[in-house]
Amino acid sequence: MRKVGEGTNLATTLRRPHATPSARLMVRRELRVAGAGFGAALAAFGGALADLFDRRIPAAVGALYGARGLKLLMNAATAALVLSLPFAAVSAPQDAPTLASAAAPVASLASLASDGAPRAQTQARGITAATRGVVTVAAADPQPIQRRVVERGDTLSGIAESFKVTLDDLAFANGIGDEGTPLRIGAELVVPPGRGALYTVRKGDTVEAVATRFKVDPAVVKTYNRLYFEPQNFAADQRIFIPGAAVPAIQRLTVSRFIAPPGGDRLPARTGRLSWPVQGVITQYFWWGHTALDIAAPYGTPIGASDDGVVVATGWVPVGGLRVCVQHADGFKTCYYHTSAVFVTPGEVVKRGQKIAAIGLTGVTTGPHVHWEVWKDGVQVNGLDY
């Protein structure tokens, strides 16, 4: 047994561990105590709320409205909530960040570290906005250029009328500047596909220069001839069509031309009473001072032959202007004055109702009309009687 003082320090033997007071330890202890108290209070408050909403409020509403009333009230509240959602979505600001955009930022190329390797560069294309409807734009195919072989009795104005094109456009397409130019039988004429100019591209031409010459927008030339996608269509010696082009006016046929009336055996038989040359309004009747009928109609209205017959005269005459006369069987002849264009030529056989001229203002006249003369055995008669 060891005795006190033999190799042992009395102070060391009797020392007991104990906490040394400090400000830090005291603050931590107080915080723990306060936290425990706050948690207990929060738990008590939550229990009170649960009791209020789970038991007391439903019990009070149930006592007031009954079970069915409570169910109806809850259903109405749910329906109101559902109906309010679309309005809430519409009223929400368009630039409000969404949950996905707020939670996860989108990575960009700029955020990636460069490793020094070369990469393809992209060019910004701007913003592409989609429409609600799908629209397909299809360019119409150019209409084919038609051709006509000249036959005996053909006239330039008659061919233009048969193809429903203007005399000026047909003449320009074929390099004809005078309506009186004779047409060679067997020759081939090109017919424009519509109102406009058929033009052969020359070396050195530009779309802009051609468009300026014909007084149209360059886009008209490019669109119709598909130059945006097929620029080779504008090469030298290529024929293009320019819709709506202003072409030079052809010199009109004003020289009077006529033939001797053919014999009765060479005239087609009568088909009945004479037909009206045009649907219009009679502005002057037949009387001794006016030996014809004046029938008014809009300028350019076609004039039809009153019966089968042979054209015996065309061209210009004083007072009557541009006229055409047709010899019929049984001694009848009809003449049509003040026309704007004549579509037949002397010697041509025409049918009843065939378009032979158009209403005009040539000669001495106060308005567009046809001065319709009817002759019987060399004497002017009233057309209403026949």
Is the pLDDT confidence value at 127 over 70?
no
CA dihedral 78, 80, 82, 83 (to 10 degrees): 160
Q: Residue 277, SS3?
A: coil
Domain with CATH 3.10.350.10 in the chain: 146-243
Is the pLDDT confidence value at 41 over 80?
no
- pLDDT reported for residue 110: 46
**314: closest CA among 333, 336, 329, 332?**
336
CATH code for the structural domain at 257-385: 2.70.70.10
Q: Residue 72, SS3?
A: helix
Average pLDDT over residues 253-274: 83
Is the pLDDT confidence value at 382 over 70?
yes
How sure is the predictor about 386, in pLDDT bands with cuts at 50, 70 and 90?
Answer: confident
The angle formed by the CA atoms of residues 183, 187 and 190, to the nearest 5 degrees, is: 95
Average pLDDT over residues 38-53: 73
Q: Residue 204 has which token pair?
A: 């050195």
> Which of 38-52, 125-139, 158-172, 273-287 holds the top average pLDDT?
273-287
- pLDDT reported for residue 12: 47
Is the pLDDT confidence value at 148 over 60?
yes
Please say whether the beta carbons of 340 and 300 come within 8 A: yes
Give CA–CA dist 176/174, Å, rounded.
Answer: 6
Give CA–CA dist 75/69, Å, rounded.
Answer: 10
Q: Is the pTM of this model over 0.85?
A: no
Give CA–CA dist 373/210, Å, rounded.
Answer: 47
- pLDDT reported for residue 275: 93
Average pLDDT over residues 345-349: 84
Domain with CATH 2.70.70.10 in the chain: 257-385
Is the pLDDT confidence value at 34 over 50?
yes
Please say whether the beta carbons of 277 and 295 come within 8 A: yes
Look at strands 332-342 and 309-317 and give their pairing. Answer: unpaired
Round to the nearest angstrom and report the end-to-end CA distance of the chain: 172
pLDDT tens-digit map of 233-246:
999 999 999 999 98
- pLDDT reported for residue 251: 67
pLDDT tens-digit map of 183-218:
899 999 999 998 899 999 999 999 999 999 999 999
Give CA–CA dist 228/133, Å, rounded.
Answer: 26
Give CA–CA dist 291/328, Å, rounded.
Answer: 19
**372: closest CA among 298, 264, 274, 300?**
274
- Weakest-pLDDT range from 15-24, 78-87, 100-109, 305-314: 100-109
**306: closest CA among 321, 319, 293?**
293
Give CA–CA dist 359/288, Å, rounded.
Answer: 25
Please provide the average confidence, as pLDDT, over all residues in the chain.
79
Give CA–CA dist 182/179, Å, rounded.
Answer: 8
Chosen CATH of 146-243 out of 3.40.50.300, 3.30.1490.20, 3.10.350.10, 1.20.120.1200: 3.10.350.10
